[in-house]
Structure 1
Amino acid sequence: MSLDWLSTPCAQPDGTQLEVAAARQMQLTKPPGSLGQLEALAIELASLQHTSTPAVDRVWISVFAADHGVAEENVSAYPQVVTGEMVRNFATGGAAISVLARTLGANLEVVNLGTVNDPGEIPGVRRAIIASSTANFCVEPAMTSEQLEKALAFGADSVRAAKKANAQLFIGGEMGIANTTAAAALASALLEEPPSCLAGAGTGLDSAGIQHKVSVLERALAKHANANTPLEQLRCLGGFEIAALAGAFIAAAQAGLPILVDGFITTTAALTAVRIQPDVRKWLLFAHRSKEHGHARVLNGLNAEPLLDLNMRLGEASGAATAVPLLRLACALHNGMATFEQAGVSTA
């Protein structure tokens, strides 16, 4: 296995379609700019999809689940057994993302990368087991080089499946007890900001729990201070699901598949992907600003303005799924509105 594929150039948006879409928006029966971000979304999607009629009817959602060794440090309000239990809940349709995907008519893929409480073979779950958990990164690197390679590749596998299904939009989600701790550690390293700026409540920690989390992060960052490349920071401080998301985002950009980014953990994975392959940034749309403390910092690091701010902090790709109707409406308005000439409406 090799990481050479990470350096394959990303696809490029279509500049001509960008200009055509922007010109059309100026001709539609409304004051220019009056539909705000909906106009910008349609123009961007036209460029990314290389078409004059952008659409997000076919949505692919991959939720990657994995456990974290740093859970040993008591950084979560929930027991680690929950990760494996939620894998089953995703597959049987009871989780929030299951309901949202069903409502949207989206394809939901669940990928088990390794859980301490292994639920075994479950219909509708792709088993891509790397290990039962990452290592405790306060003691040693979270992943071996081989484990990192596998996680990145498993993310890329999901994009290949999405492309085979002719998806028009890729959404990545995650599940893993203690993964806000891993994301905060990784974001702190990537942004060179103290962990107190990135650590939040996660599954529901109180102020004392958050302060303990910060101290755990400080130990981890000191332990891996010599990790000075994005890949090495991901290996030492990340998680299987965060690496899979980063791999998926790179593969989607290489394949020319637009990406809708969810919350704190997936945005940290997106930041990692952009640090590895800067052109990935062109393919990222941002769904929402999470209530999780560090999310705004990571969004700023990507110069990103999300569509929604609903105080959500669930993960699972739930925030991204919630934003899909906005993308669909943006496309419907762009494609379906009449121009001034067609409607016989006078211009100023």
Structure 2
Amino acid sequence: MVNYKEAGVNIEEGYKAVSLMKEYAARTAGSSVLNTLGSFAAMIELPQGYKNPVLVTGTDGVGTKLDIAFRMKKYDTVGIDCVAMCVNDILCHGAKPLFFLDYLACGKLEAEVAASMVKGVSEGCSQCGASLVGGETAEMPGFYRDGEYDIAGFAVGIVDKDEIIDGSSIKEGDALIGIASTGFHSNGYSLIRKVFTDLEEDFQGKSIGEHLLTPTKIYVNTILKLMDKFEIKGMAHITGGGFIENIPRMLPRGVTAVINKSSYPVPDIYQKFTDEGVLEKELYNTFNMGIGFVICVEDSIKEKVIEELILLGERAYNIGCISSGGEGICLK
């Protein structure tokens, strides 16, 4: 007689995983969460104080960065990445994250590994003030190889309709301010894995593997504080597609983002790609190049904004400006 366990799905391991995950989810529960993990659906009460609330949503995954986590046998940081990729995106429209759900899939479930990944999700939610309210853990033998996992997430945030940031007021002469990244974040890892084949290789006192697993920076708290003091016209999260694809996403028609490449220090680790023959244009079309988030403000306040970002613990630079005519981005 064939049973579910012999078919490759261990229900008991699943129960164990959920038990471990509940603890991490409970750490993030805010006052607007009306029920606990384990119900068929999460119930969230909209917070008070919004005149005309708009829900802002985003979903993303971690991609092939997961391969580094498998090889290093370190699973918690990719959970932070999963949250960061979603909440940084909805932040671009001025939204404060409310709650988050994750999706975890594998070939053979190991409760401790799955829980470690969700621990990272919990940490990411704590960093941005979101509640981890649910998710799905799917064990799919024969579909994923044993030891391999995939993780994706879904974030919901809120913003008053009158305070949505959509880039429509951006004009010629406005300044572009870049906020430093914490590494490669979660993009370009298919190319990274071709260039960095030895994860034990030392680079500036740490192994390459440690550098590559540095989690994506979550910019939520910094930007929400900045929004309380200054008018931000547009924002871009530098993810897949790098500078070239992401900065133009915040611009209205008829203007160009002019980026001064020498305006900030590009991390030394990118030299490895140049040494391997990767063209500069491809670098700026793949990676964040040391800048994980870009904001657009009036030129007259750029120095004050940078000063405030530094006070908030960020490394920030005036990386360019907006010019009239054309569309997209100009790197010089």
TM-score by length of 2: 0.29
Q: Whose helix proportion is higher, 1 or 2?
A: 1
- Flag the structure with more relative contact order, 1 or 2, with Cα contacts below 8 A and sequence separation at least 6: 1
More strand by share: 2
Instruction: Give TM-score scaled by structure 1 length.
Output: 0.29
